[in-house]
Chain A
Amino acid sequence: MQANTNKAAAPAGAPAPAGSAGTSRRDAARGSGDAAGRSRGPGSGRRNPAVSREARLGLLLVLPAVAVIVILIGYPTISSIWYSFTDRMVGSPGHFIGLANYTRLATDSGFLSAAANLVLIVGISLLLKLVLGTLVAVILNRPMPGRNLWRLLVMLPWAMPGFVAFMGLRLMFESPYGAINVALESFTSPVPFLSDPTWARISVVLATVWRGFPFWAISILAALQTIPKELYEAARMDGASTWQQFVNITVPQIRSTVAVIAVISAIWTANGFENIWLMTQGGPSTTTMTFPVLSFLSLQSRQLGQAAAYAVVILPVMALFIMLLSRRKKEI
């Protein structure tokens, strides 16, 4: 829709930048756009030198960005995929072994646990971050004394280095002398927060939520501030309750933002290493195992091929998240 408007608004005969909004890729590839109007005459078979120059300049200008993407993203990604089909070890090129690294995963208890945790830890963390982030954002959006200070304080868990945050949390969760167990001393016997399989999962989720919810809160707060106040005033005049205003105005208005945050947060949580490694090293046994930790453990024994397989196997899930993110961005 917008593309058509732009096309119509462009002055007749003015050359449009190749590939710019208002010019389809196919048009740009033909070296046309509005300029095509001039070239579609008797001389349409010849290339317009001015357009070719622009196209070359355009290519030249995007070249650094393409080079950066190829070197920093393309090469490592393709290398990792290739390594995952080899028995490569540190310092030796290895041999092609087909799907052997992947077939081995099927019987690996760590892999099965990591797959389950991809759903459990990531899913529950996202849900809790959504609830807590929205709640905090709504509170911080209301007038209150020292509001800016509260907003600053809420950001602290997210702003502090992950290493400090998770080491601190680990010490708090320790049993029997961690701060939480000491605080609970009068009420219960020591809770095995990190050593009992169920508690370990809960502790890791709580730590992940604590560290990650400020990002949600601040992003949702930003979205809340873009909602016109008139909508709420009109709803109040119509007699809508606070809950009805939240459900019928706030939620639809922040939905797109929440969707984008959810996808980004899912990617970060699924790829999170320090939250698991510093709290439980994936244990006890494989209870809190994740793909990044499995990959790291393989690297410990210098098995680059196996480590790459653990990293690559999660790529389809990440690709799905990224596709969802791209679609949401387009909608916004």
Chain B
Amino acid sequence: MRHSKIFKGLGVLAALALLATGCSSSPDKNDEVAAEGLGTATTEVAQAAKDFQGTFTYWIGLTFPESSNDLEAARIKAWGDNLGIKTEVIKVNQNEVVQQASGAIEAKSLPTAMTVPYDLMSTMATGGQLSPVPDAYTAVGEAHGGWLDSIDAATKAKSFADKIYGVPFGFFGNVLFSRADLLKEKGFDSPPKTWDELLAQSKAAQDPPTTYGMGFALSNVLDGNLTTSMMQSFGARVADDAGKKCTINSPETSTFLTWIKGAFDGGQFPPSAVTWDGAGDNNSYTSGQSIFIVNTGSVYQSMKTDDPDLAAASAYSALPAGPAAQVAPVDPRYRVVPASTSDAGKILAQDLFESLADDTYMASFMENATYGPVLKSQLEYPVFTDSPVHAGLLEQAEKGTAPAFPDTANAAYSDYQNAFSTPRMVQRVVVDKISIDKAMAEAQASCQTIYDQHAG
């Protein structure tokens, strides 16, 4: 009896040891990549490391899959260990970064450095909450073949008043996922080039209530802001060129609303699209409910492992064009330094940004995370030819439109988007059945309130 207990105990210990070995294999691999290229610090950085008080806190924006986040955390830790400073990595859900940052701004508890989307960088820069980082931006660009033109233009947008507030590391871009297998059965051999083509394909291939054509969120979530790009591709604008006066109430917006109402009333959207949460469109596609969705690539990463057949049966292409233009905005992600960071922290943060741009590390990071390239050296990463979604992102890097285009990218535009203003206007038309004129007037008024607050 006693021996049996001892054997059982040894068995459990052995199992735990095996588990520990298995678990540690990934971090070991991460550690190797994470430590790649970490050399001796310059005198200025070494002095800053000595002067720096406390813990260097870095907020990273969570991406899919988790291994990418782990790799980034390992890289930051390795960088800190190399300089002899304590680091702490906090993983922030990218859907909640605006709320988290807003809370931290009010509580004066922003981290030493952080990653943010373009919109948030814009609002924080306008609010004087970020410290410019021109030297790091130049150094990273020079060390990696230069910045891609679209990224450089977005970073140096007029609204930043000749200052550079962030170092880009990748961009999110919308890729059109389509069920090539179902569309081929109906005689469509290539993905739609325009929204009207998409509507026609959707009508032909869908079979409600089993499958619907247009799996695009129309709800109060970030995915719902796709409707802003659609609206702009119909020639409508959120505001004028000065970025001060809202111009939503226009014949072009009316045309767009008429078009989307026709599609909704015609049963092209799954009815639940008006209340989907952030994962609603993704689930709709992976469950086979939708023929088309727009996604940054995370769905492909998930399908690769969970449903490779669906991944193979799908086509990945650029966003369709509207009657006026093709609007496919790139959404660069930036590493930024809050103005509240100490001087030593600012020097260290910029050194970290240079370290995180290392090509060996970034090639490994982008292998899984679905970011598009921002630097010329990144164009050579194997993932951009091996993965169809990454190839789509590469295409978008060359042909995509600047953030907010054709509108002016500024803090007011960011807050217009953060308030889900366009999908709310669409819901007023397709759900509440109010007239298009009234919906436009309401949206115009709420938009102008936002823009006026920024003007004041």
Given contacts A170-B277, A297-B220, contact A87 B106 (CB under 8 A): no
Q: Are B418's CB and A285's CB within 8 A?
A: no
State how many angstroms separate the Cβ of A130 from the closest Cβ of chain B. Answer: 28
Residue of B nearest to A108 (CB): B446
Within 8 A of B (CB), among A249-283: 278-283
Q: Are A302's CB and B221's CB within 8 A?
A: no
The A/B interface has a contact count, at CB < 8 Å, of: 102
Residue of B nearest to A282 (CB): B220
Given contacts A297-B220, A303-B453, contact A197 B275 (CB under 8 A): no
Q: Which residues of A contact B424 (CB under 8 A)?
A: 285
Q: Are B106's CB and A91's CB within 8 A?
A: yes
Q: Which residues of A contact B415 (CB under 8 A)?
A: 301-303
State how many angstroms separate the Cβ of B423 from the closest Cβ of chain A. Answer: 9
Selecting from A30-38, A137-145, A151-159, A187-195, the interface stretch reads: A187-195
CB contact between A90 and one of B105, B420, B428, B442 (< 8 Å): that residue: B105
Q: Which residues of B contact A286 (CB under 8 A)?
A: 427, 432
State how many angstroms separate the Cβ of B211 from the closest Cβ of chain A. Answer: 10
Within 8 A of B (CB), among A141-200: 170, 174-177, 189-190, 192, 194-197, 200
Mask, A74-109, CB within 8 Å of B = 1, is 000000000000010111100100000000100111
State how many angstroms separate the Cβ of A5 from the closest Cβ of chain B. Answer: 52
Within 8 A of B (CB), among A292-324: 297-304, 306
Given contacts A176-B209, A281-B220, contact A302 B102 (CB under 8 A): yes
Mask, B125-152, CB within 8 Å of A = 1, is 0011100000000000000000000000
Q: Are A189's CB and B274's CB within 8 A?
A: no
State how many angstroms separate the Cβ of A311 from the closest Cβ of chain B. Answer: 15
Q: Are A90's CB and B106's CB within 8 A?
A: yes
Interface size class of A (residues with CB under 8 A): 35 or more
Q: Are B450's CB and A301's CB within 8 A?
A: yes
Main secondary structure of the interface of B (DSSP, over half): helix
Q: Are A303's CB and B456's CB within 8 A?
A: no
Given contacts A91-B129, A176-B209, A280-B275, contact A301 B418 (CB under 8 A): yes
Q: Are A281's CB and B127's CB within 8 A?
A: no
CB contact between B450 and one of A90, A107, A170, A303 (< 8 Å): that residue: A303
Q: Which residues of B contact A107 (CB under 8 A)?
A: 442, 445
Q: Are A175's CB and B272's CB within 8 A?
A: yes
6 nearest interchain CB pairs?
A: A301-B419, A285-B427, A284-B274, A285-B431, A301-B415, A91-B127
- A residues sitting closer than 8 Å to B (CB atoms) are 87, 89-92, 95, 104, 107-109, 170, 174-177, 189-190, 192, 194-197, 200, 278-287, 297-304, 306
